[in-house]
């Protein structure tokens, strides 16, 4: 018997479009002999859509849905619950929802960012007792919160950059004290980030005190928690001027996860910001495998698995590192080994067939369609294991 797989895409976050692209790739590649696929869309206003409306959202014909953003919210939540109830117990719940999804065996929530990658949708699926791809509530929430994530990394003995976490209320209450706290602990340049976000939204690189307050105000627009980190750059004298190397590893599995080869992103800008991630004119190109010594890549792959475990992740994650760059002209031949820091985990990384996560597995011997297959199997295993 074929399994019914609900693929959920879109969502209320700033990464709505990225999600649509990931889902389109999955729908195209998934093995239709094994799976019956049920597309489920979430419009930008939070409205849940199925059938033709979900297809239309995917095709970019209606990225708004029909409800105004705020008013749609409550109703959207009711609908989400109803959709799940409907999926669970067909007849009785039929009237509850206009969503005709039927009973689902497993859900693939291809959602990035808030209300999708952060444990919220995962919690709903737990309550509905439906298997789903990826991390559970805790792992998803930790993976979304750059402050909590650092606590987990540090507890596991993984190297992280020096940082300060501020609450928006502390910043509004006493900016001078906050600036003092930052400068006491960190050297410029620093990176200012909203704690719970992705795609580099709200992130600034700050080189001087004068730039600090505007950067914190910007990050505070997105989150009540702001993380400020010392910038990773070059080594020694080039510390402040050099650009960090950005290395990424794909991890796959549940309790006994495996790590892919290491890939490298070479941003075409000052840092890997929103434009260099998504602008089609951007020339940021992944290098797979990254140019590293054997010892370095071995060390990083071990760290990636430890990071996955430290955050209690499951299914998949892309683990991202920052590495001090050797001064140009001496690639990999610095006197001291370059320092490697864990930057973050992404529990639902970009998943188009040309995104880094699938590309890393492709290069490690797992083609795209098989990857989807394995993720679904891992979801079912985890669901069975849970009780």
Nearest residue (beta carbon) to ligand ADP: 272
The interaxial angle of helices 51-58 and 16-29, nearest 10 deg, is 110
What is residue 124's three-state secondary structure? Answer: helix
What is residue 249's three-state secondary structure? Answer: strand
CA angle 381, 384, 387 (to 5 degrees): 140
Instruction: Choose the binding region for ligand ADP from 229-237, 280-288, 308-316, 377-385 (rule: CB under 6 A).
Output: 229-237
* Peptide bond before residue 36 is cis, with ω within 30 degrees of 0: no
Give the nearest distance from C-beta 154 to Mg ion in angstroms: 18
Residue 259 sits at φ, ψ, to 5 deg, of: -115, 140
Chain positions 189 to 228 lying near Mg ion, rule: CB under 5 A, are 198
Binding partner of 276, given Mg ion, ligand ADP, none, CB within 5-8 angstroms per partner class: none
What sign has the CA pseudo-torsion 32, 38, 39, 42? negative
Nearer CB in complex with ligand ADP: 75/238: 238
18 touches ligand ADP by CB under 6 A: no
* Peptide bond before residue 131 is cis, with ω within 30 degrees of 0: no
191 touches ligand ADP by CB under 6 A: yes
Nearer CB in complex with ligand ADP: 244/311: 244
Nearer CB in complex with ligand ADP: 237/294: 237
Nearest residue (beta carbon) to Mg ion: 198
246 touches ligand ADP by CB under 6 A: yes
Give the nearest distance from C-beta 182 to ligand ADP in angstroms: 13
CA separation for the pair 156, 172 (Å, rounded)? 33
CA separation for the pair 72, 27 (Å, rounded)? 27
Site string for Mg ion, 333-362 (x = CB under 5 A): -----------x-x----------------
Alpha-helical regions (H) of the chain: 16-29, 51-58, 71-94, 120-127, 137-144, 146-155, 168-173, 175-185, 209-220, 274-278, 294-310, 356-363, 368-385
Q: What residues contact 173, with CB distance under 8 A and at least 6 apart?
A: none
Give the nearest distance from C-beta 235 to ligand ADP in angstroms: 13
Nearer CB in complex with ligand ADP: 105/344: 344
Site string for ligand ADP, 66-105 (x = CB under 6 A): ----------------------------------------
| Residue 232 DSSP label | P
122 touches Mg ion by CB under 5 A: no
Chain positions 303 to 332 lying near ligand ADP, rule: CB under 6 A, are 320, 322
271 touches ligand ADP by CB under 6 A: yes
Give the nearest distance from C-beta 229 to ligand ADP in angstroms: 4
Nearer CB in complex with ligand ADP: 80/148: 148
Supply 22's token pair.
């990931």
CA angle 58, 61, 63 (to 5 degrees): 70
Tell me which residues touch ligand ADP (CB under 6 A).
161, 191, 193, 197-200, 203, 229, 231-232, 244, 246, 267, 271-272, 320, 322, 343-344
């Amino acid at each position: 018997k074929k399994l019914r797989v609900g693929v959920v895409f879109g969502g209320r976050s700033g990464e709505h479009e990225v999600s649509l692209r990931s889902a389109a790739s999955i729908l195209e590649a998934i093995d239709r002999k094994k799976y019956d696929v049920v597309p489920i869309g979430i419009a930008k206003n939070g409205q849940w859509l199925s059938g033709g409306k979900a297809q239309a959202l995917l095709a970019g014909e209606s990225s708004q849905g029909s409800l105004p953003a705020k008013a749609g919210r409550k109703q959207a939540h009711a609908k989400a619950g109803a959709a799940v109830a409907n999926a669970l117990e067909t007849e009785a719940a039929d009237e509850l929802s206009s969503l005709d999804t039927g009973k689902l065996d497993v859900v693939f929530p291809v959602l990035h960012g808030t209300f999708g990658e952060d444990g919220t949708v995962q919690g709903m699926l737990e309550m509905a007792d439906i298997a789903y791809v990826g991390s559970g509530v805790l792992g998803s929430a930790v993976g979304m919160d750059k402050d909590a994530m650092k606590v987990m990394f540090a507890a596991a003995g993984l190297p992280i950059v020096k940082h300060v976490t501020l609450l928006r209320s502390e910043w509004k209450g006493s900016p001078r004290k906050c600036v003092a706290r930052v400068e006491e602990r960190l050297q410029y340049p620093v990176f200012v980030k909203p704690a719970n976000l992705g795609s580099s939204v709200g992130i600034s690189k700050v080189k001087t005190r004068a730039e600090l307050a505007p950067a914190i105000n910007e990050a505070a627009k997105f989150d009540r928690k702001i993380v400020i980190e010392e910038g990773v750059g070059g080594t020694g004298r080039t510390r402040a001027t050099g650009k960090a190397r950005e290395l990424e590893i794909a991890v796959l599995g549940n309790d006994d996860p495996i790590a892919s080869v290491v890939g490298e992103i070479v941003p075409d800008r000052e840092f890997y910001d929103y434009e260099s991630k998504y602008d089609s004119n951007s020339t940021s190109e992944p290098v797979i495998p990254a140019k590293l010594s054997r010892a370095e890549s071995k060390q990083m792959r071990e760290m990636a698995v430890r990071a996955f475990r430290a955050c209690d992740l499951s299914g998949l994650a892309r683990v991202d590192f920052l590495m001090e760059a050797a001064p140009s002209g001496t690639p990999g031949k610095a006197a001291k080994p370059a320092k490697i820091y864990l930057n973050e985990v992404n529990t639902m990384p970009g998943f188009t067939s040309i995104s880094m996560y699938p590309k890393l597995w492709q290069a490690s011997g797992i083609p795209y369609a098989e990857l989807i297959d394995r993720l679904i199997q891992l979801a079912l295993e985890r669901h069975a294991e849970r009780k």
